[in-house]
Structure 1
Amino acid sequence: MKILALDSSGMTASVALMEDGQLVADYTVNYKKTHSQTLLPMLDTIVQMIGLELESVDAIAIAAGPGSFTGLRIGSATAKGLGLALDKPVIEVPTIYGLANNLFDTEGLIVPMMDARRAQVYTGICRFRYHRLEVVKEQCAVSVEELVRELNALGEKVTVLGDGVEPNRSYLSENLTVPWAEAPGHLNRQRAAAVAELGSVYYSEGKYVSAAEHSPEYLRVSQAEREQAEKGRSMREMEEKSARLRPADYGAGDSYED
C-alpha cells in the first residue's frame, strides 16, 4: 500500500510517501515561502528522486485542517487535483492529530498548539494507548487560558508542540500546574510523514472520501468572511433603521422618500 501525504496547514510545507508501513521519502521545509511556491516542486522532486509513478499510489493523505486558511486551500486543492486526475481517494487527517502523531508512544497527554491568532490556539488533547493514538479532546479553537484550565484539571503530565507554543510559553510556564515539556525541534512542527502514517491507519479502517467530496476543515470562518459578515450585518441594521423611520420623524425642513 502506497500513501502519498501532503501537509501545508502551517508555515511548514511537507510531502512524504509511505509504502507498506515504511517511509520511502520525506521532504519538509519550514521557511518563509508560500506553499504555492514550494508544495508542487517538492512533490516533483520526490517523484524524480525515487522514480515514483503517481498512478501507483493507493490514496492521498492530506492534513485537512485546521490551520492557515491559505495553506489549507493550497494543500486541499493539490490533494483534490491529484485525486481527481489519478482517480484516487483522499484521506482527511485532522491537522492536530497528525501533529500529535509525531510523538508516537509518548507518555502522558500530547497537546498540539497552532497559533490561531485572535488570542486563540487550534488544539486538542491526545494520548497513546496500546500504541494507538487516542483522542481525549477533539480538535478545536480555544483560548490558551481555557486550555490550561482543562489540562490542570486532568492532572497528567503534558507534552506540547506546534507553532502556538512559542507565543504562549510564558503563560504556560506561569499557569500550568502539571509537569510539562516541549517536544524537541525535529518533532515540533507539521510533517507529512506523520500524516502518511496516520493516514495509512485511517485507510485500513475505510476512513477516506472521494477526491470530489474532499474539503478542508477550517473550524472557524476566515477574517475576510468575518469582515464580509460584519459588513452585511451593518448594512442590514442601516436598512432596518431606515425602514422604521416615518415622515413624522423629520423636521419641517427635512424631506422623506420611500
Structure 2
Amino acid sequence: MKLLCVDSSSETASVAVIEDNKILSELTYNDKKQHSVILMTLIDAAIKNSGNKISDIDGFVVSKGPGSFTGLRIGMATVKALAHGSNKPYASISTLDALAYSIPEFNGIICPLFDALRDNVYTALYKKSNDGLLTIHDHDAIEISKLIEILNELGEPVLFLGDDSLKFKDKLSEVKLGVFASPFNNLVRASSLGFMALERFKNSNFDNIDEDAPLYIRVSQAEREYINKHGKSVYEK
C-alpha cells in the first residue's frame, strides 16, 4: 500500500511517500516559508521522486496537531482535497505521537513538546515497550514549570524532543534526569505519520478513518478574545 504523508504542523514542512515498510521518498523543507506556497510543490516532487503518479497513491496521511493553527489547517485541507478528489482514504495522526514514534529506543520517558506561548507547552508523555508506543500522560497544554514538576516526581530518565524543546532548554535543565534529542529527531518526519497510520488503514478496510478537526488542544488567541468579549464561542448561536 502506497501512502502520501504530509506534515505542516510547524515551520518545517515534510512530505513522504511510503510503501508498506519502505520509504520511497521524503522531503523536508525548513525555511520558514508559508506552507500554502510550498506544500503542493513538495507533494508533487515527493511523488515524482518516488517514481509514482498521484493515481498510484492508495491513501493519504496528515498530521493533525498540536502545532501551528494555520499550518495544520493548510495541511488538513490539502490532504482532504486530495483524498476526496481521488476517492481514496486518509488518516490524521497526532504530531506528538509521530515525534515520539521516531525515537527507536529510549529506556525512560519520551517528552515531545511544542511552544504554546506564555511559558506553556503542548506535550504528552510516552514510553516504548514490546507493545509499541505507550501514552502515560495524554495530550495537554501545560505550564513549563508544572511539566518540570511532574517529570521530577516521576523520577525517571526523560528525553526531550521537538525544535521548541531548545527554546526551553535552560528551564528543562531543571529536570534532574533530562536529556535532549539530536537535531535529526527534533523534526516531525512525514514518514513516521505514515508508518503509524498503516495499521489503521489495514484494520478499517480502507475507509476514511479520522475526519476529526485538527487537534489544537486549546482555542486560538483570536477565539479566546472572541469568547472573552461575547461570552460564547464563534460556533455557538
- The TM-score normalised by the length of structure 2 is 0.91
Match of 1:190 in 2: 188
CA contact (8 A) 2:10 2:71 kept: yes
Match of 2:117 in 1: 117
Q: Which stretch shows the higher mean deviation, 221-230 or 74-83?
A: 221-230
Counterpart CA distance in 2 for 1:156 and 1:212 is 34
Q: 1:220 aligns with which of 213, 218, 221?
A: 218
**Greater Cα radius of gyration, structure 1 or 2:** 1
Deviations 1:13-66 (A, max 9, x none): 000011021011110111110111111100011222233222332221111111
Match of 1:176 in 2: 175
Deviation at 1:167, TM superposition (A): 1.9
Match of 2:235 in 1: none
Counterpart CA distance in 1 for 2:143 and 2:210 is 34
CA contact (8 A) 2:91 2:209 kept: no
Distance 1:229 1:162, change over 3 A: same
Match of 2:87 in 1: 87
CA contact (8 A) 2:114 2:164 kept: yes
Query: Which of structure 1's runs of 4+ aligned residues deviate more than 6 A?
Result: none
Distance 1:143 1:212, change over 3 A: closer
CA contact (8 A) 1:162 1:188 kept: yes
SS of residue matched to 2:76: helix
The one-letter code matched in structure 1 to 2:158 is V
Q: What percent of counterpart residues are identical? A: 35
Counterpart CA distance in 1 for 2:206 and 2:167 is 35
Distance 1:171 1:228, change over 3 A: same
Counterpart CA distance in 2 for 1:100 and 1:18 is 19
Structure 1 unaligned segments of length 5 or more: list them.
235-258
Deviations 1:132-168 (A, max 9, x none): 1111111111111111111112111011111321221
Counterpart CA distance in 2 for 1:2 and 1:92 is 16
Counterpart CA distance in 1 for 2:217 and 2:205 is 20
Alignment of 1:47-66 (within 5 A): 47-66=47-66
Deviation at 1:208, TM superposition (A): 7.8
Counterpart CA distance in 1 for 2:13 and 2:228 is 33
Deviation at 1:233, TM superposition (A): 3.6
Match of 2:127 in 1: 127
Alignment of 1:99-248 (within 5 A): 99-130=99-130, 132-173=132-173, 175-177=174-176, 179-206=177-204, 210=208, 213-233=211-231
Counterpart CA distance in 1 for 2:171 and 2:206 is 38
Q: Alignment RMSD, CA only?
A: 2.0
Counterpart CA distance in 1 for 2:23 and 2:129 is 23
Counterpart CA distance in 2 for 1:199 and 1:186 is 22
Distance 1:11 1:232, change over 3 A: same
Counterpart CA distance in 2 for 1:83 and 1:211 is 12
Counterpart CA distance in 2 for 1:74 and 1:87 is 20
Distance 1:155 1:201, change over 3 A: farther
Distance 1:105 1:62, change over 3 A: same
Q: Which stretch shows the higher mean deviation, 195-204 or 216-225?
A: 195-204
